[in-house]
Amino acid sequence: MMRLWLIRHGECELTAPSDEARLLTESGAALVQKMATRIEMEGGEGPTRILSSPFRRALQTAEFFAKAWKTEVEAVDWLLPLVEPSQVLARLSERPETSLALTGHLPNLGLLLSVLLWGLPPREASIARGAVLQLEAESLSPGAAKLKWVLNPGVVS
């Protein structure tokens, strides 16, 4: 059984020297902190590791959750915005962990979510900035996952 948490980065700057360098805004960081605190207060077992896009806003978001779950963040380039879900699933299948959080962007996370829940072809699913979703899957096959819960930022703001 694989447990996955999908986390979209929080609200970020609109301008920066590059897309990769965009940081969370002050309000975006505050909201992500609230989300991580809420997750921590709920208790339950968290992921053994958080994998994150190497973009700054995703890494910042991942760090808030790493503190809450008392785990580490690992940057991986296959969580960049335009990476195909098939590549993400292939990389996940190489991992020894059975409990992972993925922090990243749209359309990547939305497409991955749709493939895991509804199968192929990928459809773009929307995930709010700062939202957290938990999935469980017997395998990393298209359509094999079940959505366990969603925590949207509007609940904690």
Q: Is the pLDDT of residue 123 over 90?
A: yes
Check the CA dihedral 6-114-147-127 and report its sign. Answer: positive
The dihedral over CA atoms of 84, 65, 62, 155, expressed in degrees to the nearest 10, equals: 70
* DSSP assigned state of 43: -
Which one-letter amino acid corresponds to residue 102? L
* DSSP assigned state of 134: E
Coil/strand/helix, residue 48: coil
pLDDT at site 128: 96
pLDDT at site 23: 96
Q: Which tokens in the block code for residue 147? A: 């959505």
Q: Please give the backbone phi and psi of residue 99, each rounded to the nearest 5 degrees, phi first.
A: -150, 100
- The answer to whether the CB of 149 falls within 8 A of the CB of 20 is no
- The answer to whether the CB of 109 falls within 8 A of the CB of 13 is no
Q: Please give the backbone phi and psi of residue 67, each rounded to the nearest 5 degrees, phi first.
A: -65, -45
28-85: pLDDT as tens digits:
999 999 999 999 988 788 999 999 999 999 999 999 999 999 999 999 999 999 999 9
What does the pLDDT average to over 124-149?
Answer: 96
pLDDT at site 42: 84
The Cβ-side half-sphere exposure at 18, using a 13 Å CA radius, reads: 5
pLDDT at site 157: 57
pLDDT at site 2: 95
Domains in the chain with CATH codes? 2-155 (3.40.50.1240)
Q: How many Å from the N-terminal Cα to the C-terminal Cα in the chain?
A: 32
Q: Which residue has the tokens 């773009």?
A: 124
pTM here? 0.96
Percentage of the chain surpassing pLDDT 70?
99
pLDDT at site 1: 92
